[in-house]
Structure 1
Amino acid sequence: MTFLFIDHYDSFSYNLTNWFVAKGIDLKILSYKDIHNLTDLREFEAIIFSPGPGHPCEYIGSIELYKKIPANIPFLGVCLGHQIFLLAEGGKIEQMSRIPIHGRQVEIIDPLKSLHFKKNSPNGTVVLYNSLGCKSSDPVFTKNVVSLAEENGFSLMAEHKLHRRFGVQFHPESFASPGGETFLNAFLGTVKC
């Protein structure tokens, strides 16, 4: 099983890639700067967009790549990747707080039931490292995307209504996210469908 991992140069990328490799996944890791070298996305069983610095609108190549993902290939966006997912689907990304939220743990309790996960949506304690997000009241959530969980009016976990595409504003791969592994395992479960 081969996944494509687009690296947006974040220190958390290593934790995320190591998690998937430990699960026996063959990862093709590609810098967001080298996206133009991709020829056929159909060779991958899943595509993952990493966290990263800055605003998602700065990553035009990643947005364009997201729009080219075939409907049958699962997608996961983490933090910046989540924001790229929502921006590409028509959402607005804005400041969540006047100061960055770094290392703050939040509890996801009773999220909406996922349309794609075989069991209920994952829950538990997760950690935030960000200052940008998409409001749960954004019109994107009345169109193609469902917000499964929120914190202070911003979406923490979202999925596409039709395709196996997911985004999380939190860092499921962090040691400070004991509930994060349930989400990553649930994502893997959608790939094997």
Structure 2
Amino acid sequence: MQARLLLEDGTLFTGKAFGSEGESTGEVVFNTGITGYQEVISDPSYCGQIVTMTYPLIGNYGITRDDFEFIRPFIHGLVVRQHEEIPSNWRAQYTLDSLMKEYGIIGISEVDTRMLTRIIRQHGTMKGILTTSNKSVEELKEQLNAMTIMRDQVDRVSTKRRYHLPGNGETVVLVDFGSKDGIARDLSKRGFDVVVVPYDTTADQIRRIHPDGIILSNGPGDPKDVPQAIEMIRSLLGEYPIFGICLGHQLFALACGADTEKMKFGHRGGNHPVKDLMTGRCYITSQNHGYTVVQDSLKGTDLEVTHVNNNDKTVEGLKHKKHPAFSVQYHPEAAPGPFDSGYLFDEFQTMIREFKQSLPNIPQQAKMLAAAQKTAEAKGELKHAQK
């Protein structure tokens, strides 16, 4: 079956359909990863986007449930050069084609993805419509012109209920803006007692959990579309150690008075070089974002830059000068190195412990009462989520 991809600048690509049938609109972006198409498809940060894979062969190792980054994909389409229908991998449970059919995702293959990527690099990300229908180009243009960019992606992908991932260590609240499962896995590996909460959880609701620290997760879209989260972070800054990742990094910057802006074509892939300004070391990082912190807007704030992108010098890391809080634009849990950036979770754990030691000594009885209250509340929320 034939499939077509029409860009808002009028460029039309015709190829072979796979996955689901129908029509889908979204922001057309590209990912430069050589492997990891399953992680890309299941990353909530791609919600509302039609993803172009620059690596030519996609589908060759199939799909494995253990490698999902989220319970289901949210992409609006997949564009590839060559779609492999028969995977060769002993771990494969089913094919890419069957996964996309299951979730209603349209795919198009036999497309010149190098040409498409060059168009996006030159003109920036743009709206697109992917279809298997026989509609005329004029009809498709009308639909595309009427399309508006999604503004509710975080609401679509965030958990609707609070839930608990028990651990024996410090309690951290993971604010879910579209969190990849890898973040929770890395926290659990370090013994953290993780409480995952929806993106619109208020500062007072977080305080009642009595956390030792707060993680601001990755997520899709424009950080300015989540103003309630910015206010929550601003309110809690200084009360608890905070670690922001990707969208969480941008929200942290906005809460501290900095600004963000849309990038021309963003950073998406597992091969982005980032320099740590403290050590001079360069890390190869996994990234997925279309917005960045404006470096000039940091003047007059209490933020300082800790990491920069070696390609375009954009801000990749921040830390607060007065409070225990820092953030990175990339994904330390993805770690294509493969474990280069895992130290950031260790630094967060050390920050929590040093912050707790700096607090005034609390009588033992009060400590025990607070711990008992925290355990009871967590159990109650877990039962509620299970129901």
Which TM-score tier does this pair reach, normalised by the shorter chain?
0.7 to 0.9
Tell me the percent identity: 22
Q: What does residue 161 of structure 1 align with?
A: 321
Note if contact 2:261-2:293 (Cα within 8 Å) is conserved in structure 1: yes
Answer whether contact 1:41 1:70 (CA < 8 A) is retained: no
- On the 8 A contact 2:203/2:235 being kept in 1, the answer is no
Pick aligned residue for 1:150 from 308, 311, 329: 308
For 1:157, what is the secondary structure of its paired residue? strand
**Corresponding residue of 1:189:** 350
Q: Is the 8 A contact 2:250 2:292 kept in 1?
A: yes
Change (3 A) 1:41 1:135: farther
- Paired residue for 1:133? 292
Output the CA distance in 1 between the equivalents of 2:318 and 2:290: 18
SS at match of 1:33: coil
Find the aligned partners of 2:322 and 2:208 in 1 and give their Cα distance. Answer: 19
2:224 corresponds in structure 1 to 57
TM-score (norm 2): 0.44
Q: How many residues align?
A: 182
Q: Is the partner of 2:191 in helix, strand or coil?
A: coil
Aligned-pair distance for 1:41? 5.6
1:102 paired with 2:268, answer: yes
* Deviation digits for residues 72-125 of structure 1 (CA, Å, limit 9, x no counterpart): 4110110000000011111111123x223211423334x333xxxxxx698522
Cα shift at 1:188: 1.5
CA RMSD of aligned residues (A): 2.2
Distance 1:181 1:40 in 2: 27
Are 1:5 and 1:29, in contact at CA under 8 Å, matched by a contact in 2?
A: yes
Please tell me whether Structure 1 or Structure 2 has the larger radius of gyration of its CA atoms: 2
- 1:46 matched to 2:213? The reply is yes
1:20-45 deviations in whole A, cap 9, x for unaligned? 01211001100113447716268111
Calculate the TM-score normalised by the size of structure 1.
Answer: 0.84
Bigger mean CA offset, 100-109 vs 120-129: 120-129
For the residue of structure 2 that corresponds to 1:38, the secondary structure is helix
Give the whole-Å Cα distance in 1 for the aligned partners of 2:182 and 2:211: 21
Task: Report if the CA contact (8 A) 1:101-1:129 is conserved.
Answer: yes
Write the letter of the residue equivalent to 1:83.
Answer: Q
1:157–1:166 CA contact under 8 A, matched in 2: yes
Instruction: State whether structure 2 residue 330 is matched by structure 1 residue 170.
Output: yes
Residues 42 and 123 from structure 1, CA distance in 2 versus in 1: closer, same or farther, beyond 3 angstroms? farther
Q: Which runs of 4+ in 1 moved over 3 A?
A: 33-37, 120-123
- Alpha-carbon distance between aligned partners in 2 of 1:142 and 1:112, rounded to the nearest angstrom: 20
